[in-house]
A = this chain, B = another copy of it.
Amino acid sequence: MCGDRVNTMSLPHALLGLLAEQPASGYELAKLFDLSLANVWPAKHSQIYPALAKLSTSGFVVASEEGPRGRKEYTITDDGRAELERWLVEEPSEHAVRHDDLLRAFFLWTLGADGAVAHFEREAADANDVGQQFTQLYRDVDWDDSDAALYAAIVLEQGRRWSAMRAEWSLWAVEQINAHRTAKTLTGRLPDSAFDPPAE
Contacts and interface: CB of A to CB of B under 8 A. Distances in A.
Tell me how many chains of this kind the complex includes. Answer: 2
Interface residues of A, number: 86
Given A106-B155, A147-B109, A152-B106, A99 B99 contact: no
Interface string A159-180: 0111111111100110011001
Contacts of A188: 145
A17 B95 contact: no
Interface in A176-200: 176-177, 180, 184, 188, 190-191, 194-195, 197-200
A108 interface: yes
Contacts of A169: 157-158, 161
Contacts of A10: 98, 100, 103
A98 B40 contact: yes
Contacts of A146: 109
A8 to B, nearest CB: 9
A85 interface: yes
B89 A107 contact: no
Given A110-B20, A143-B190, A197-B132, A105 B41 contact: no
Leading 10 A-B pairs by shortest Cβ distance: A17-B107, A109-B147, A164-B198, A145-B188, A93-B101, A131-B198, A157-B194, A40-B102, A97-B97, A41-B103
Interface of A: 10, 13-14, 17, 20, 36-42, 81, 84-85, 87-89, 93-111, 115-116, 119, 128, 130-132, 135, 138-139, 143, 145-155, 157-158, 160-169, 172-173, 176-177, 180, 184, 188, 190-191, 194-195, 197-200
